[in-house]
């Protein structure tokens, strides 16, 4: 779990990049249930989320959904279209919660990134960390079986969206349906339901109003033989 200091450090990161993004072209309202963009669409802009929540996912041809991350205020989306040939969005951006995004022209951002070494540095750092996170995440999802996949997802969600409560429990501050979790870890809502209920029985976690609270994170870590990798790596996104 993130300590107060770590959270502080995390916020200090990429300050120049975020500063640049704030000088955006215009602001756009986003409404729950709509898509900000969908995979395959030509990508000329990227977005800084000002408020609201957006789920980034990718569909398989047969209708199954792989969920990558849930983004909220301060996060950049559409970033992987930068510096690509025929830029198309690779993911779907589905709005989970009303809000606003700042719209940034891709061309402008690319130009600025190359002109300013500090920006370049921050962006490369972000990309490297992204790639590193992805490697450990997918190793877990693929090698640990579905139960391990769920446990690993819960652990990462604690690090990405968790709030430490007074009793030491961690509230994952996102309303998550069984189906959402299933989409994150490549299983079915029924399996997720059974596994969550088993964990509830054991007192490992509890659920109120669609939000999960983890009471015994160490249990989950033991079960997946967690190697306690650095906090910037062991995250959902």
Dmax over CA atoms of the chain, in Å, equals: 56
Cα–Cα distance measured from residue 106 to residue 86, given in angstroms and rounded to the nearest whole number: 12
Q: Look up residue 22 and give its DSSP letter.
A: H
Residue (153 or 213) nearer to its own copies, CB: 153
Based on the shown chain and the rule CB under 7 A, indicate whether residue 40 belongs to the binding site for DNA.
no
Q: Which residue number, 27 or 114, has a Cβ lying nearer to its own copies?
A: 114
141 binds, among its own copies, DNA, none (CB under 5 to 8 A by kind): its own copies
Query: Site size for DNA, by CB under 7 A?
Result: 18
Angle between helices 178-185 and 145-161 (to 10 degrees): 110
Q: Indicate whether 197 belongs to the interface with DNA (CB under 7 A).
A: yes
Q: In whole angstroms, how close is the CB of 183 to DNA at the nearest point? A: 11
Kindly list the residues in this chain that would bind its own copies in the complex (CB under 8 A).
58, 60-62, 64, 66, 68, 80-86, 90-91, 113-115, 117, 120-121, 123-125, 127-132, 134-136, 138-144, 186, 224-227, 230, 232
Q: Which does 209 bind (CB under 5 to 8 A by kind): its own copies, DNA, none?
A: DNA
With beta carbons less than 8 A apart as the criterion, state whether 103 and 22 touch.
no
CB environment 88-125: b (16+ within 10 A), e (fewer):
ebebbbbbbbebebbbbebeebeebbeeeeebeebbee
Among 105, 147, 211, 215, binds DNA (CB under 7 A): 147
Burial class (CB in 10 A: 0-12, 13-18, 19+), 22: exposed
The site for DNA (CB under 7 A) is made up of: 145-147, 177-179, 186-191, 193-194, 196-197, 209-210
């Amino acid at each position: 779990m993130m300590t107060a200091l770590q959270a502080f450090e995390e916020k200090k990161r990429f300050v120049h990049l975020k500063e640049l993004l704030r000088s955006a072209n215009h602001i756009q309202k986003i409404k729950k249930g709509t898509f900000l963009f969908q995979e395959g669409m030509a990508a000329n802009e990227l977005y800084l989320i000002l408020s609201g929540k957006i789920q980034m996912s990718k569909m398989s041809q047969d209708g199954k959904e792989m969920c990558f991350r849930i983004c909220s205020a301060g996060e950049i989306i559409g970033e992987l279209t930068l510096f690509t040939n025929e830029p198309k969005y690779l993911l779907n951006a589905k709005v989970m919660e009303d809000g606003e995004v700042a719209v940034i022209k891709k061309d402008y951002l690319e130009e600025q990134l190359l002109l300013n070494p500090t920006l370049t540095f921050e962006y490369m750092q972000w990309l490297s960390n992204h790639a590193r996170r992805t490697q450990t995440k997918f190793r877990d999802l693929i090698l640990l079986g579905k139960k391990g996949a769920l446990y690993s997802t819960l652990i990462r969600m604690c690090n990405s969206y968790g709030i430490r409560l007074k009793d030491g429990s961690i509230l994952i501050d996102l309303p998550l349906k069984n189906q959402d979790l299933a989409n994150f870890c490549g299983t079915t809502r029924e399996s997720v339901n059974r596994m969550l209920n088993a964990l509830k029985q054991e007192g490992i976690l509890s659920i109120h109003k669609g939000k999960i609270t983890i009471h015994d994170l160490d249990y989950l870590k033991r079960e997946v033989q967690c190697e306690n990798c650095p906090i910037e790596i062991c995250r959902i996104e």
